[in-house]
Amino acid sequence: MATVAKIRCFSCKNSFEHYCNTPGGGGIACPFCYAVLPSNIAQQMRYSMIIHAEDNRSLREYSGNGTGTPLFQFDLLEVGKK
Ligand SMILES: [Zn+2]
Rounded Cα distance, 16 and 29, in Å = 10
For ligand 1, the distance from its centroid to the CA atom of residue 67, given in whole angstroms, is 47
Flag whether 24 is in a domain. yes
How close is the Cα of 47 to the center of ligand 1, in Å? 23
The reply to whether 59 falls in a domain is yes
Range of the domain at 54: 4-63
| Residue 10 maps to a domain | yes
Q: Give pLDDT tens digits for 21-59.
A: 776 666 899 999 999 999 999 999 999 999 999 999 999
- Cα of 2 from ligand 1 centre, angstroms: 23
Per the domain annotation, does 70 fall within a domain? Answer: no
Tens digit of pLDDT for each residue in 63-76? 988 888 999 999 98
- Give me the number of domains the chain comprises: 1
Q: What is the pTM of this model?
A: 0.79
Domain assignment of residue 45, yes or no: yes
Q: Residue 14 domain-assigned?
A: yes
User: Which chain residues have CB less than 5 Å from ligand 1, an ion?
Assistant: 9, 11-12, 30, 32-33, 35
DSSP H helices, 1-82, are 39-63
